[in-house]
Amino acid sequence: MGIHKVFATILATFAASALCLCQTQVEVQEVKELKPTGSLGTCGYRPTDREKAFLEKLPSSERTTGSFMDKHDYRIRGKVKRYVSWFGVVRRSSTANRDDHSYDLLIQQKYFDGMTDCHIMLVSNAGAGDFVAKFGSGGEGVPLLSLVRVYGTVVREEKGIPHVSADFVRVWPWFTFTFTDLGPADHSNPEWARSCKICKGGRIYNPYPTEDYYLGMLGDPKDFLPKPDSPH
């Protein structure tokens, strides 16, 4: 089964594009066929109807999370008790508490300057490091290596990794997002950087990404599945 079909199967389990999963609401972007039009446009970020209330809760300092025009790099550390909203790529999924069906997702944060392509979600390939999103339940349904935007409160830091209690998470599966090389200096986990073959000399930005593009940028999802003997 191809990766495109795998993601379609995963998304079908949601039964709708938006679900309420106990404390954490998850909304999944619909995958549509991208057809080149011969021109590209830049737009401001467009929240969904359900997302708007969470976006409006953000302080002005957290509306954009990293721009190449910033004098100082955006940081995700040192923000315990602060309400934030961070973009990132899902790298690991682990069961936090099997009794209450809660889940943790380890996420590689990606900078976002507030602007995106009009036809596809666009974030920087660079980021400020890893963070953990804590789901009330349902985090296991978010595909590995998908792009997410997590809204919630930073409840603690452990070994320099912020933990966010997620209120709302918007999910972009493959074929609904792409990357740009514009952004502040990259402080991402070197482990994830090794998965980016395109970064070693290819063109990072692709307005009409293919399966090979995601494999080259992020790696193969099966390589990020929990090992049989792993607790995660």
Stretch 158-162: mean pLDDT: 97
pLDDT of res. 184: 87
Stretch 110-134: mean pLDDT: 96
pLDDT of res. 145: 98
pLDDT of res. 229: 54
29-58 residue pLDDT tens: 999 998 888 888 999 999 999 999 999 999
pLDDT of res. 11: 47
198-215 residue pLDDT tens: 998 878 999 999 999 999
Q: Which residue has the higher pLDDT, 39 or 150?
A: 150
pLDDT of res. 9: 44
Mean pLDDT over the full length of the chain: 86
Residues 6+ apart with CB under 8 A from 203: none
Residues 6+ apart with CB under 8 A from 159: none
3 state DSSP class of 113: coil
Q: Partners of 121 in the beta sheet? A: 177
57-106 residue pLDDT tens: 999 999 999 887 777 889 999 999 999 999 999 999 986 555 667 889 99
Residue 208: C-alpha distances to residues 35, 68, 93 (Å)? 8, 23, 28
Residue 215: C-alpha distances to residues 25, 160, 210 (Å)? 28, 28, 9
Residue 230: C-alpha distances to residues 5, 95, 135, 226 (Å)? 27, 11, 20, 6
Cα torsion 76, 203, 174, 64 to 10°: value is 30
